[in-house]
Structure 1
Amino acid sequence: MPDRDALLFAVLAVIALCAGAVRAEGMRAEVPAPRAAELKHILIQDCGSCHGLTMKGGLGSPLTPQALDGADPETLAAIILDGVPGTAMPPWRPLLSEAEARWIADTLLEVKP
């Protein structure tokens, strides 16, 4: 029979890991405030040049809350970083980190009508 204290420690460790994962799931990716301002500018100007300044679509697909309803932020971040071959969506990986792409994805998903 396992040691009671060791078993209790293991159970608490699993609970703590699960709680951390749940908190991380609902949190926006963090970037420093000055970079967040730059990313917001990129989102409006660069993304907006194809997706429309109101994000309702243009050359690129709409990025409205309705269009992104149910979208996975990790998938959006991957699209931002790697682009979509055969379309006008370029890869932004040379200019953005994974955390920055996730911040943009989280920002798009937080926008309310």
Structure 2
Amino acid sequence: MKPFFTLLLAMSVVMTATAVQAEIVSPRQAELLYLLKHDCGSCHGMRLKGGLGPALTPKRLQPWQAEQLAVTILHGRPGTPMPPWRPFFTDSEALWLAQQLKQGVKR
């Protein structure tokens, strides 16, 4: 009986540690991630590794600060297919999205 309880305790510790590590996102943040994967993915590739637009991977975005990326999200890139998303995102939402891109979006 003792090995069973030891196993249960070990499983409980692992599950608790995993839950603590998981990032809790608000419903709006979940919407933003959905938009990122589907709307942005239509140009930047469904896995955000490039397409019509450049890749949105942490390695590719490393030279830019999250604030710079947020400006691009909000105002687009004139003369390119990158549209301004200002009508859909607040400043803080664009910054949060840029930070997610810099960290690597979890799928």
The TM-score range, normalised by the shorter chain, is 0.7 to 0.9
- Give me the CA root mean square deviation: 1.3
The two structures have a TM-score, normalised by structure 2, of 0.72
For 1:84 and 1:37, how far apart are their aligned partners in 2?
A: 25
Q: What is residue 29 of structure 2 aligned with on the other side?
A: 36
Moved over 2 A (4+): none
The partner residue of 1:62 within 55, 59, 63 is 55
Q: What is residue 43 of structure 2 aligned with on the other side?
A: 50
For 2:48 and 2:32, how far apart are their aligned partners in 1?
A: 15
The two structures have a TM-score, normalised by structure 1, of 0.68
Q: Which runs of 5+ in 2 are unaligned?
A: 1-24
The structural deviation recorded for 1:70 is: 2.8
Aligned-residue sequence identity (percent) comes to 52
Q: What is residue 9 of structure 1 aligned with on the other side?
A: none
Bigger relative contact order, structure 1 or 2 (CA pairs below 8 A, ≥6 apart): 1
Give the residue type in structure 2 aligned to 1:53: M
Q: What is residue 103 of structure 1 aligned with on the other side?
A: 96
Q: Which runs of 5+ in 1 are unaligned?
A: 1-31
Provide the aligned length of Structure 1 versus Structure 2.
Answer: 81
The partner residue of 1:91 within 84, 96, 105 is 84
Q: What is residue 76 of structure 1 aligned with on the other side?
A: 69
For 1:105 and 1:65, how far apart are their aligned partners in 2?
A: 10
